[in-house]
């Protein structure tokens, strides 16, 4: 049997991989601390802290695997990053803030509109019982579904479709999150929100864009609260 000339290097691969993962874990920790600080100091949470469960989810999800190779060096920086097809992955502080406002619990079924690379869906998968995510751009939907499956997020389902329509055959949802800006709150999504549910969505355009928290009480009455100014890519309607 002929031995590979590279075989003697094998014992060094495991320590190298472990060191790389330790560095990534340290980067995630710095990202979490910076993101949480920004989320709290923004005033959007009324001075309260981000729940430990949200912090744990952000520590556990390898953000660098949800961005293109060329962007991995910046994966843990406090900034949005392009992921292709005119879409972006939100800055960590926005992810932390939206996830905290959503107040996801293990028993919840969550609808996400705008899968993108699948990063927010992965965060939600750590927190919720089930996540259903809709993406209108076919290459993004396909790659996100493959990525989430490969990384073991078995409680996430990704569907290609128009997010404005929601996922009516799976409704109602305990929580809904929209990761692109709509000109107004889609009533189809409000209708699919369960009593006692919450929805977080950016609404408006340009200088008038605001992150909104929509709640529905046990009697089905809907309330809206503007959280803070934001800037998201627009929510696309129809098929391409």
pLDDT tens-place string over residues 35-78: 999 998 999 998 888 999 999 999 999 999 999 999 999 999 99
Mean pLDDT of 111-124: 98
User: In the structure encoding, which two tokens stand for residue 113, read together?
Assistant: 């509109």
CA dihedral 11, 13, 14, 18 (to 10 degrees): 150
Q: How far, in Å, CA of 41 to CA of 178, rounded?
A: 23
pLDDT value of position 16:
64
Distance, in Å, from the CA atom of 142 to the CA atom of 144, rounded to the nearest integer, reads: 6
What average pLDDT score do residues 163-173 get? Answer: 97
**Are 240 and 137 in contact, with CB atoms under 8 Å apart?**
yes
Average pLDDT over the chain reads 92
39 vs 164: CA distance, rounded Å: 27
pLDDT of residue 14: 53
pLDDT of residue 47: 85
Whether 13 has a pLDDT exceeding 60, the answer reads no
Which residue segments constitute the domains of the chain, with CATH numbers given? 7-229 (3.40.50.150)
The pLDDT confidence band at residue 3, using thresholds 50, 70 and 90, is very low
Residue positions annotated with a catalytic role: 90
Please tell me the pTM assigned to this model: 0.90
Q: Strand runs (DSSP E) across 29-128, as ranges?
A: 81-84, 87-89, 109-113
Section 192-201 average pLDDT: 98
Predicted local distance difference test score (pLDDT) of residue 239: 52
Q: In 28-166, where do the E strands start and end?
A: 81-84, 87-89, 109-113, 130-135, 156-160
Segment holding 211, helix H or strand E? strand 210-216
């Amino acid at each position: 049997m002929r031995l590979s000339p590279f075989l003697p290097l094998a014992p060094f691969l495991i320590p190298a991989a472990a060191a790389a993962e330790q560095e990534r874990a340290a980067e995630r920790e710095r990202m979490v601390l910076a993101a949480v600080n920004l989320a709290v100091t923004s005033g959007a949470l009324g001075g309260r802290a981000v729940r430990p469960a949200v912090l744990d989810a952000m520590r556990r999800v390898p953000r660098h695997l949800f961005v293109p190779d060329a962007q991995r060096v910046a994966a843990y920086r406090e900034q949005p990053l392009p992921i292709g097809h005119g879409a972006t992955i939100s800055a960590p502080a926005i992810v932390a803030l939206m996830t905290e406002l959503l107040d996801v619990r293990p028993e919840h079924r969550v609808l996400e509109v705008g899968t993108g690379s699948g990063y927010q869906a992965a965060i939600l998968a750590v927190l919720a019982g089930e996540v259903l995510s809709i993406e209108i751009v076919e290459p993004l939907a396909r790659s996100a579904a493959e990525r989430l499956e490969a990384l073991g997020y078995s409680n996430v389902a990704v569907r290609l479709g128009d997010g404005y329509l929601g996922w009516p055959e799976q409704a109602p949802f305990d929580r809904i999150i929209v990761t692109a800006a709509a000109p107004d709150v889609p009533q189809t999504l409000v209708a699919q929100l369960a009593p006692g549910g919450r929805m977080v969505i950016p609404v408006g355009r340009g200088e008038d864009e605001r992150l909104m928290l929509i709640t529905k009480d046990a009697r089905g009455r809907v309330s809206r609260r503007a959280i803070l100014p934001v800037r998201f890519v627009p929510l696309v309607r129809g098929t391409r």
